[in-house]
Structure formats: C-alpha cells, structure tokens
Amino acid sequence: MSLPQHREAEYHRNPYRREMEIWVDTLGEHPRFGQYLLFSDSIYHPHGGGQKGDRGLLHLGGEVAEALGCPSDLPLTDTRRESRDNLHVLGSALDNERAHQHLVGSRLFRLTLDWEFRYRQMRLHSAAHLLHCFVERVLGNSIPFPETSDLQPEYGLNRYETKGLLMEEQVREAEQQLNLFTAEGHAISTSPDPEKEGFRYWHCEDWIIPCGGTHLRNTNEIGEVRVSLGLKRGRTSLTFTLTD
C-alpha cells in the first residue's frame, strides 16, 4: 500500500486538498520525534526548506478509538522527513500491540489537515520567494538565495550572509513593488524536475526558484506584506509578515 517512489505525493499534486482517505502502513518510534505513523499517501507536507511540517487529525471512529483507548480524532502534531519517509508524529503515544492490530493495514481512515496553519505557510512561502526576487530587482543584480529561510506561524525570515546588502529605503522600495505585483494577480505554479527525482521548482512569470514546498495558485492570495530590515553580525535579515 506504500506510495511508489516515482509518484508525487498528494500534497504536491493538490496542495489545496484538505482531507483524504489513507491506509496506515507503519507504526514506528523515532528517537527525536517519538511515535509516528507512515501512510499510503498524504496531504501533509513535511518540515523542510523553512516550511513547518503539517499537522491535523486522523479520524479513527468510535470503535477503533475505544479499542486503542484514545480520542476518536487522533491529533498529529508534526510531519518530518526521514530518509524517503514522511513521519506523521503522534500527539500522544499509543499502545504498540493494540495500535498494530487496529491501525496498521486494517482499514481506510480519514485524514484531515489543519488548513488555517497550512494556508498561512503557503502564503508566507510564496511571499518569501517574491521578496527575494524584488530585492534583486531593486539592487539591479542577482544575489545568492537566503542562507536561512524560516517560516514561523506568524512571520517569515530571509537571512543573507552579506553585510549591508540593503538600505532601509531599498527595503521600502522592494516592499512597495512586491505588494503592487501580488495585487495584480499573477499565476504561480510548481513542477517536478523531469531528470532529478525529488527536485521541484516554483514558477511565477519569468522567475524560477528551486523549491519543494507547497504554494499558492495566484499572487493575489498572499495579501499585503510588511517587511522589516535587521542588520546584525555581518548578516542582513528581512522579516516579513502578512497584514491579515
């Protein structure tokens, strides 16, 4: 029942999908993340590239929940990539023997996504890419991608290892151009690399950026972005937030 390695996961095929039916393939234990489940497919994107791992609920139904002694809506608190597997981290531990009996390969279960959390990550993620593009436009030259790109629930961060990369007035110009562009409603798409398994790209107009995350369909979904400049220890940091 496992997802074939050459097939795209559902979170890439349809990043707007909020629920699906899956099989539980494996119950495992990770030394750092604790108990986890592997599914036949998933709408949950794993932690990586600055994007936080998805979370949500596995709906067991009353009979299975009673047998396991757990809530019928089982919380999944994180998704982590380990080797070629996406680990769906359990919010509370299950009894191994009973979980194997009643979960693994036993039946189809419904998986739902914390959509509010995911959608904000998608908005911040595309904002991060476009902010980099407009910084380059304001500077008039290409620059290396951020050394660190981090998406928290309420803000994003692009950190460059270049001291004095931008002045405040250039940040304001990049912010203004970014917001004008996003409001116009430009299409966004993602695609796999046909020659390199596991590599993906983000596209918007003439911009192409290597990225395996989840993204919006259109820039107008981002909304208005506010950017602040930070200069510390030879690094230039751009922190950005969404106004709604």
Sheet order of strands, 148-151 included: 148-151, 156-160, 235-242, 225-232
pLDDT of residue 197: 83
Q: Does residue 135 sit in the same domain as residue 72?
A: no
Q: Does residue 55 sit in the same domain as residue 105?
A: yes
Q: Which two tokens stand for residue 231?
A: 């200069």
Domain that holds residue 195: 118-242
Q: Which of 53, 82, 113 is the last residue of a domain?
A: 113
Average pLDDT (132-145) is 96
Average pLDDT (178-192) is 97
pTM: 0.92
Beta bridge partners of 81: 86
- What is the rounded distance in angstroms from the CA atom of residue 114 to the CA atom of residue 19? 10
pLDDT of residue 1: 39
Question: For 212-230, how does the pLDDT look when each residue is reduced to its tens digit (9 = 90+)?
Answer: 999 999 999 999 999 999 9
Q: Which of 93, 113, 133 is the last residue of a domain?
A: 113
Average pLDDT (7-20) is 92
Question: For 87-112, how does the pLDDT look when each residue is reduced to its tens digit (9 = 90+)?
Answer: 999 998 899 999 999 999 989 999 99
Q: Does residue 73 sit in the same domain as residue 164?
A: no
Question: Helices 115-139 and 168-184 sit at what angle, rounded to 10 degrees?
Answer: 120
Beta bridge partners of 191: 201
Average pLDDT (24-53) is 95
- What is the rounded distance in angstroms from the CA atom of residue 13 to the CA atom of residue 168? 39
pLDDT of residue 7: 66
